[in-house]
Amino acid sequence: MTLELSAEEEAFRDEARTWLRANSPGRLPSMDSAEGAVAHRAWEASLAAAGWSVVSWPVEYGGRGASLTEWVLFEEEYYLAGCPTRIAQNGISLLAPIILEHGTPEQRQAYLSSMADGSVVWAQAWSEPEAGSDLAGIRARAERDEDRGGWVLNGQKTWSSRAAFADRGFGLFRSDPDAQRHAGLTYFLFPLDADGIVVRPIEQLDGDAGFAEIFFSDVFVPDSDVLGGVGDGWRVAMSTAGNERGLSLRSPGRFCAAADRLVDLWRERGEAVASVRDAVVDAWIRAEAYRLYTWQTVTHVQAGGSVGAEGSLNKIFWSELDVDLHETALELLGADQELRGPGAPAEGSWVDDHLFALAGPIYAGTNQIQRNIVAERVLGLPRGDSGRAR
Amino acid sequence: MRFGTTEEQRDFAAALHDLLQRVDVPTVARAWASDDTGPGEKLWGSLAELGLPALLVDEEHGGIGAGAVDLVVAFGVLGRHAVPGPWVESAAFAPVLLRGVDGAGDLLSSLSEGRLRVAAAVEELAPRAGDVRGADLALLVRGTEVHRATVGAHYTSVDATRTPADLVPAAALGDAGPEVARAVDHAALATAAQVLGAGQRMLADAVGYVCVRTQFGRPVGEFQAVKHLLADVKVALEFAAPLVHGAALALDAGAADATRAVSAAKVAATDAAWLSARTALQVHGAVGYTLEHDLSLWFTKVRALSSAWGTQDFHRRRVLDALLSAASAR
Ligand SMILES: Cc1cc2nc3c(=O)[nH]c(=O)nc-3n(C[C@H](O)[C@H](O)[C@H](O)COP(=O)(O)OP(=O)(O)OC[C@H]3O[C@@H](n4cnc5c(N)ncnc54)[C@H](O)[C@@H]3O)c2cc1C
């Protein structure tokens, strides 16, 4: 494909390719297990040491100040080299952009470098038992403690990815009890081992403790750990939602690499399961479409445009592609498709990745919510019975 | 890195769009369908003045010498407006094919001036020419041999503006060699762009309709079941578009994977456009199921074009074959 890369961009890609192919550890044990978390942190540390952990960040926090184009190139190379999933992901893609934009100089100093090298892993604590799709229904509260110069947190968060093995959390709390819904929320940063916090791991469909409930009873957080303005939490948080759905959460590299592996699987087993031929082709075409769509978005952003509600198109597309692609692989595995672990084809990685993919249409705003957003904000259909599009 | 159209290409699209806005194209198309080809021929002339049939003809023969990216920009607009006539054959297929044929210079000149409408059949791809109405020249391709042909039996298409027909070889024109494959790729890609434009138009019209049609005391576009259908169409169309653009870039660059890119684009654009057609029909209710409603023009065209210049199965096979024979898929 003719992307008209500049000499500098090509040099960047080649350097990334060389390093990643030489250093990729391949698949590691699940990052949602104690053993896997350790291995993934070590991988983050070696990425960071070589300057590949957060290429798009400013140099002073461990980045390379890479352009958006270079970031996408890096991501392509990362997955083509078979590198592992990123345990630091939610910090890097959801929290860091906010710290860079809304954080104080002290917060940037304190939190960015340690996030980049995997020594401090962050968990996102937004959802609550009664606030899922309707996130503005948050009930966990923050009360002012003037004497100590901070806030006292109480309540419950849930479904917090990697909280079982993470060090710190970031979340939204109701700081003004009289305010409704989107108003009166504040964005807090806190250590997960603070006094008054109890983390209860929850086993996901794949059997690992991939997310957790977090209980807060009288947890003190100093003013210095308020991110953005008091009462401004919704606006601050939504600037990460845009990031999450738009470009940063799932780069095309991941799906292109998976589609290429699917073609290889067809090569091995296609004759036996001819009925899925079209699904193999379509998965590859969709991954390619996602790749080119991303380049189109990058071109748009580099020309000064922004990604607004269109990020929802993206989220629907990659999450459904991911499920379909892996279900096609399972079809190709025939009766082996239920096997996990040792003795299973590819050590069960197709099954594991399928289970992982199944969550995609749920997290980061369910695909029903994304369709509401596309219909109302992209197509301009009248609001009505679909609730406030998040 | 840049991936997108240039300002010049967007201006060209806007000029075509303005022209077609001023003409009542649905009326032209309906006239064409009932064999009153006068208004359509006049429209052909106007589009020729903007350079449409000259795009792929080289300057030596009075053409513009533009590339596939310009071509898909133009065909997107034609699709949006349901312009009738053998445009793919005349502006995408023949100019590339005839480049490879010795002594075809006069034909190329006539093409670029808009004086020649072409019907074409490639035997390996389809048993007949897709559209012979209004054509002045019929070309039949066997292997790499190009023949002038006469028109045999006519058929009726689900798209009333199209007239499929058998072609009977008359006189050999010459051997077009590798240009046959390139011409087929350009035709398939132009068709992909055209159906994508049609799909975008049907979505826009469906959105417009559900905002004004009320039932149960509110616009039906407020119902979530309707919203989600339309959102899915938007997703499909948005992600097919970059495949079409990417394939055009690949053709222009003479890239080794250009054929694969064209087939991928044709598959995705056709599926997206057909989803748009089905959905537009559904959200219009019964009025959408009438020939009188203009939706029928786009709906039937997308259905007919879904097998033109290669069926979905043909193109999926080509993608897979290319993937399996490549050392690395990307
Ligand atoms: C693997 C995984 C990891 C996660 N990680 C995190 C994390 O790290 N941090 C965090 O805070 N949260 C996390 N979540 C939670 C996630 O954000 C929520 O699950 C999601 O927002 C949906 O909320 P819910 O589960 O309460 O479903 P509900 O909101 O109860 O939805 C139930 C169903 O109703 C539908 N629905 C709801 N409202 C509407 C509407 N208006 N229109 C149409 N349909 C509607 C939904 O689409 C869904 O199908 C994670 C979830 C998963 C599965």
The answer to whether residues A285 and B264 touch, using CB atoms and an 8 Å cutoff, is: yes
The residue among A384 and A252 whose pLDDT is bigger is: A252
Query: Which structure tokens are listed for B198?
Result: 């049609």
- Interval between CA B320 and ligand 1 midpoint (Å): 37
**Whole-number pLDDT of residue A389:** 45
Chain B CB contacts of A311 below 8 Å: none
Q: Is A124 in the pocket of ligand 1 (CB under 6 A)?
A: yes
Do A150 and A198 fall within a single domain?
Answer: yes
* Dist. CA A356–CA A32, nearest whole Å: 11
Residue A230 shares a structural domain with residue A261: no
More confident residue, A99 or A386: A99
> C-alpha distances in angstroms, B32 versus B36, B91, B304?
5, 19, 16
pLDDT for the residue A270: 92
Q: Which domains does chain B have, with CATH numbers?
A: 181-328 (1.20.140.10)
Residues A295 and A328 in one domain: yes
Query: How confident is the model at residue A251, as a pLDDT?
Result: 87
pLDDT of amino acid B146? 98
Q: How many domains does chain A have?
A: 3
Neighbours of A179 (CB within 10 A): 12
Q: Give CA angle at A124 (A310, A375), nearest 5°.
A: 20
Of the candidates B63, B62, B89, B86, which has an alpha carbon nearest to the alpha carbon of residue B146?
B89
* Rounded distance between C-alpha atoms, residue A86 and residue B17, angstroms: 47
pLDDT of A245 reads 61
Q: Which position has the token pair 């969550």?
A: A359
Block means of pLDDT (10 residues each) for chain B, 330 residues, are 93 98 97 96 97 97 97 98 98 97 96 96 94 96 97 97 97 97 98 98 98 98 98 98 98 96 98 98 98 97 98 97 78
Structure confidence by residue, pLDDT tens digits, A63-86: 999 999 999 999 999 999 999 999
Q: Return the percent helix, strand and coil in chain B, to nearest 5.
A: 60, 10, 25
Mean pLDDT of A17-43: 96
Task: Answer yes or no: is A18 within a domain.
Answer: yes
Question: Domain of A189: which CATH number?
Answer: 2.40.110.10
Query: Does A371 reside within a domain?
Result: yes
Closest by CA position to A128, among listed A171, A95, A175: A171
CB contact under 8 A, B268 and A317: no
Strand A168-174 versus strand A211-222 pairing type? unpaired
Q: Best residue in B200, B227, B233, B275 to probe A by mutation, most A CBs within 10 Å?
A: B227
Render pLDDT for A235-271 as a digit per residue (tens, 0 to 9): 998 876 655 566 777 889 999 999 999 999 999 999 8
* DSSP β-ladder status, A122-125 and A168-174: parallel
CA of A44 to the centre of ligand 1 (A): 29
Inside any domain, residue A205:
yes
In-domain check, residue A1: no
Q: From CA B280, how far away is CA B295, in angstroms rounded?
A: 8
Beta strands in B18-129 (DSSP E): 118-122
CB-based contact B1 A372, cutoff 8 Å = no
Q: Are residues A207 and A267 in the same domain?
A: no
Same domain, A189 and A290: no
Residue A358 maps to which CATH number?
Answer: 1.20.140.10
Closest among A353, A355, A371 to A316, alpha carbons compared: A371
Query: Beta-carbon neighbour count of residue A116 at 10 Å?
Result: 24
pLDDT of residue A386: 56
Q: Is the CB of B18 inside 8 Å of chain A's CB atoms?
A: no
A302 and A233 in a common domain: no
Q: How far is the CA of A102 from the centre of ligand 1 (A)?
A: 26
The domain boundary, picked from A31, A62, A87, lies at A87
Ligand 1 near A158 CB (within 6 A): no
Residues A221 and A257 in one domain: no
Token pair 């009664």 is found at: A130
The answer to whether residue A366 is domain-embedded is yes
User: Can you tell me whether residue A181 is helix, strand or coil?
Assistant: coil
pLDDT band at A384 (very low <50, low <70, confident <90, very high): confident
- DSSP characters for B224-280? HHHHHHHHHHHHHHHHHHHHHHHHHHHHHHT-TTHHHHHHHHHHHHHHHHHHHHHHH
Q: What is the domain range of residue A222?
A: 123-237
Distance from C-alpha of B207 to C-alpha of B196, rounded to nearest angstrom: 17
Q: Which two tokens stand for residue A66?
A: 């890479």
Whether residues A232 and A343 fall in one domain: no
A254 and A374 assigned to the same domain = yes
Q: How many CB atoms lie within 10 A of CB B319?
A: 25
Closest CA to B173 of B147, B150, B138, B151: B147
Tens of pLDDT, residue by residue over A87-146, are 999 999 999 999 999 999 999 999 999 999 999 999 999 999 999 999 999 999 999 999
In a domain, A97, yes or no: no
Q: Which of A87, A105, A137 is the last residue of a domain?
A: A87
Is position A389 within any domain?
A: no
Instruction: Report the C-alpha gap between B279 and B281 in whole angstroms.
Output: 5
Cβ atoms within 10 Å of A346's Cβ, excluding its own: 15
Joined tokens for residue A330:
């399972």
Contact A284 B231 (CB under 8 A): no
**Whether residue A231 sits in one domain with residue A145:** yes
pLDDT at residue A385, as a whole number: 58
- Chain centroid, CA B11 distance in Å: 20
A226: confidence class by pLDDT, cuts 50, 70, 90: very high
**Is A17 part of any domain?**
yes
pLDDT at A241: 63
A161 with A81, same domain?
no
- Closest atom of ligand 1 to A368 CA is 47
Q: What is the pLDDT of residues A202-224, one digit of tens each?
A: 999 999 999 999 999 999 999 99
For the question of residue A268 being annotated catalytic, the response is no
- Burial A245-268, CB ≥16 within 10 A → b, else e: bbbbbbbbbbbbbbbbbbbebbee
Q: What is the mean pLDDT of chain A?
A: 94
Q: Which of A87, A113, A148 is the last residue of a domain?
A: A87
ipTM: 0.96
C-beta of residue B222 within 8 angstroms of C-beta of residue B212: no
Do A374 and A309 meet the contact criterion of CB atoms below 8 Å apart? yes
**Structure tokens of A213?**
């409930």
Same domain, A216 and A284: no
- pTM of the full predicted structure? 0.96
What's the rounded Cα separation, in Å, for the pair A30 and A353? 11
The Cα-based distances of A47 to A16, A22, A40 in angstroms read 11, 12, 10
Q: Which CATH number do you get for residue A19? A: 1.10.540.10
